[in-house]
Structure 1
Amino acid sequence: MERKILIATHGEMAKGLQSSLNVLAGKGESIEVINAYMTDTDYTPEIIQFIETINEEDQAIIFTDLYGGSVNQKVVTEVLQAKRNNIFIVSNANLAIILSLMFLAEDQVITDEIIEDAIKESQVQLVKINQTQEEDSIF
């Protein structure tokens, strides 16, 4: 079983996440990225090509930046048309969720429950840092 990951975003966010994954985990190059709308070229064929590389025994996760956004809509449409239930889609993705799912054991089968648990653990908690606080009380 092989696990494949695609990050598809508006602009170069996907490339930036890939770069961060390289710095933090040395694994960014193993991830495919689509930086949509950087040119006039339709990126749908890239999504289809990724889907076609996923064999029945493989699993894949596609991360998108905005739930309901055009990139997410194209990904969902292509996965549904391919009728592939071994491809998971996670939208509103952040670095934490990608790292969490990237480091699952290689032989661990991904399930909806595993994805949902990782999402709960990775949900963003925005924090305003009060610059007048003592450093020890910030963290």
Structure 2
Amino acid sequence: MERKLILASHGNFASGILSSLELICGKNDRITTMDAYMAADYNLSEEIKALMDENKGNELIVITDIFGGSVNNEFLNYIHTPSFYLIAGMNLPLLIELVTQLESTDSIPEMIKQALANSTMTIQFCNETIQNEIEEEEF
């Protein structure tokens, strides 16, 4: 059983963030992207079904752009599939953590929880963070 990632988004976000991820972590043939709604006749359900069929038998982590968005909601139909993990809120620190830990982890759910916690800490209001550091240095 292989471990695979699918990055799925509205528009080109998934393929765009993959470009950044590959710049940092290198190419990885275990990552697939799905850029939804890029054609007038696009069928989200069919595309996701095809991806799921293609990845039967794999441990599959799907990362979508927006919780509650149509892409995430369509993947929710597969939430009870064995070895299927769905994450919403795709961002680069999260992806870096997942990719660098993917092969070495014994527990995908634990890896995901830790990656979410770590990537959340990278989201900062820099003005406030820097101001707080300056104030701490003054004491």
TM-score tier (shorter)? 0.7 to 0.9
State TM-score, norm by structure 2.
0.80
Contact 1:18-1:28 within 8 A present in 2 as well: no
Provide the residue aligned with 1:49 in structure 2: 50
Between stretches 7-16 and 28-37, larger displacement belongs to 28-37
For the pair 1:126 / 2:124, whether they are aligned, the reply is: yes
Percent identity over paired residues: 29
Counterpart residue number, 1:86? 83
User: Are the counterparts in 2 of residues 21 and 28 from structure 1 also a CA contact under 8 Å?
Assistant: no
The structure carrying a bigger helix percent of its residues is: 2
- Specify whether residues 92 and 105 from structure 1 end up closer, same or farther in structure 2 by C-alpha distance, changes over 3 A only: closer
SS in 2 for 1:113: helix
Q: Quick one: distance in 2 between partners of 1:84 and 1:42?
A: 21
Q: Which residue of 1 aligns with 2:137?
A: none
Q: CA deviation at 1:97?
A: 1.0
Gaps of 5+ in 1: none
What's the TM-score, normalizing by structure 1?
A: 0.80
Give CA deviations for 1:27-73 in whole Å, capped at 9, x if unaligned: 255411111111121132221122123344x3110000000111110
Q: Are positions 1:8 and 2:8 aligned together? A: yes
What residue identity is the alignment partner of 1:125? Answer: I
Equivalent pair of 1:59/1:110 in contact (CA under 8 Å): no
2:118, 2:47 → 1: CA distance?
30
List alignment gaps of at least 5 residues for structure 2. 135-139
Note the aligned Cα RMSD (angstroms).
Answer: 2.5
Once the two structures are superposed, the pairs formed by residues 28-107 of structure 1 within 5 Å of their partners are: 30-40=30-40, 41-56=42-57, 58-77=58-77, 79-80=78-79, 83-106=80-103
Are residues 73 and 105 of structure 1, via their aligned partners in 2, closer, same or farther at CA, if it must alter by over 3 Å?
closer
